[in-house]
Amino acid sequence: MTSRALILGCAGRTLSAEEAAFFRDVRPWGFILFKRNIGTPDEVRALTGALRDAVGRGDAPILIDQEGGRVQRMGPPHWPAYPAGGRLGRLNGSGAAMAWLGARLMAHDLAGVGINVDCAPVLDVPVAGSHDIIGDRAYGTRPEAVAEIGRAVAEGLMAGGVLPVMKHIPGHGRAAVDSHHGLPVVEASRETLAAQDFRPFAALADLPMAMSAHVVFTGIDPERPATQSRTVIREIIRGAIGFDGLLMTDDLSMHALTGPFRARAEAAFAAGVDVALHCNGEAPEMRAVAEGTPELAGAALRRAEAALARLGPAPGGSDAAFDVGEARARFEAGLSAAA
């Protein structure tokens, strides 16, 4: 059965009959969960199972934003709290090792409830004066440091059978506006962006998935945000950065974008994205986005299949061989020693 090039959210902790029927009809490629969807571990497992049952695919991707710090959808009392990315970046000498270990533990948490994709690592490089929507989510302010920690996070996730999604390509670090609420416009030159913002993404261009930035880069395309810019996607993301993995939009319901929801999706696909993301679970919006979303086919299907082919623990990395208690104690001890 073919899928639509779409990732959707749902309203609550259980799937309503109406939602299940809608998903059976629309056939999204995957789903995304937020805090509103998270109850006990048993409740999350039941929800991920119900979502996959609705589309009849046991391997349907189920995503979550589980970065640590401010952006952690699963947390206490059922799961540990993890540090923000910025704290990992400040662990001189041990940051990459600790980032890998923390991500490996997160993968254990996620896989245990049926979640197989994490929207991390964050590869944005903040600059002075930028909005704190990125802030301590970033691993540092030097591209090479961000790339090093980001690589460790991605590999830790994949070692635990969870796909990483690098974000927000080609870079959200200079944005002076939170794209949840407005459209950021970055006026740095292409040369400046290439020297800093694009570098972590280029260093990790082999990763299976990436999420676009709802940011206008006036030196590249002064009219359209990256998510809807054919120039940015073709010349920068696929060209200069060299990313040939699955490119998904950031949430189409964010206020950085304007216009009818069908048109938002159509503009993103016309620009060259592979998969549309809509997160808030509101049925009229989801229906409109679905109307503007094509079947998953061609190069987008190839990239989606290549991403899913990388699911599963690395050799020797299965949870059967992973001592979770020992790893968690080592992770906590490493953070305490560096405090």
Q: Is 250 a catalytic residue?
A: yes
275, 6 contact by CB (below 8 A): yes
Given the residues 124, 250, 251, 274, the one annotated as active site: 250
Compute the CA torsion angle 54, 287, 166, 307 (nearest 10 deg): 40
Residue 79, CA distances (Å) to 73, 99, 216, 329 in order: 10, 17, 37, 14
Strand partners, 247: 210
Tokens of 38: 């998270």
Spatial distance between the Cα atoms of 65 and 63, rounded to a whole number of angstroms: 7
Q: What is the DSSP letter of 304?
A: H
Tokens of 144: 């090479």
Tokens of 17: 């009959």
Cβ neighbourhood burial of 320 (10 Å; 0-12, 13-18, 19+): exposed
Tokens of 293: 């979303």
Q: Is 53 a catalytic residue?
A: no
SS3 215: coil
Of 227, 123, 208, 126, the C-alpha closest to 167 is: 123
Given the residues 180, 206, 255, 323, the one annotated as active site: 180
DSSP 135-160: GGGSS-SSHHHHHHHHHHHHHHHHHT
Cβ neighbourhood burial of 97 (10 Å; 0-12, 13-18, 19+): middle
331, 322 contact by CB (below 8 A): no
**Helix or strand run (H / E) with residue 169:** strand 163-169
Q: Which amino acid is at 96?
A: A
Active site residues: 180, 250
